[in-house]
Structure 1
């Protein structure tokens, strides 16, 4: 079965197992843990002391089950935000996977409250390109290679390219340019 919050793919097996674990805590504790997880996604790290306090009186393994629940909630929230899953669809799909209705409603409301912040955070950490501060090219005639001296984010580095490597790189870049032009034409 395909799930929108998983990017129209099957739900990972480990998430199915952890949904059972999430079902064993109260919906109020799930909501509070979900809020801690959402806060940690947006502004790491997670406040483990608060999270552990939620598990103290439960009959679950505080260390293992807590970490598993945090991982599962992180996956659910980031995947739902990443794939623009509607919160109502998330609620329905989590119920299909066996999460109780009250728990699913708690996560739906949490996603409604945090979707903008989660999306902004995911956009901020994706497709980051290090800016190229400076570069120069020189030919090292002793080894018959081109040497690129680069400065990226203030860090100096050198890349040595053989004539064969330069030709392969040039052909690959031509292929990329062609693919980009085709994509631009089709859109």
Structure 2
């Protein structure tokens, strides 16, 4: 093991900055805001994980969404912080499950219930196009698929886009009859 030394910073005055400063705007290419899973490891959780542990983990990591994989490491769906709210956990308890027994597969959105943008479309789009798609869908996250390779290529996050543009992006969740119905149960 190599011994590393610590040095005083009292004589240091400047910060390192990126060589290129890129001015981002709503007209910037969408791919500049995209989390590409070919470059960044996706945030995944196993479908059999405890929702209580996942809720705690997501809060600790400051993430609002994780991709769910099954026991064969195949994409099964997504779990969001909205899926892990207390009301939904209590509903599962009222159905006879113990809090500690509830796993991610009980509350996640399965892949058959998800829609995604296509890589070939977003590679030619601006971030304004993506923001509009997020607002129209009422979703804070949107997966991007590579239909040719049959893979989840990456994800867009409204909070990441908002932070990068220094722009408030307020996504209003679409209300559906089923959401209203289950909320009153």
Q: Which TM-score bucket, shorter chain as reference?
A: under 0.3
Tell me the TM-score normalized by structure 2: 0.24
Q: TM-score, normalised by structure 1?
A: 0.24
| Greater Rg over alpha carbons, structure | 1
Larger proportion of strand? 2
Q: Which has the higher contact order (CA 8 A, sep 6+)?
A: 2
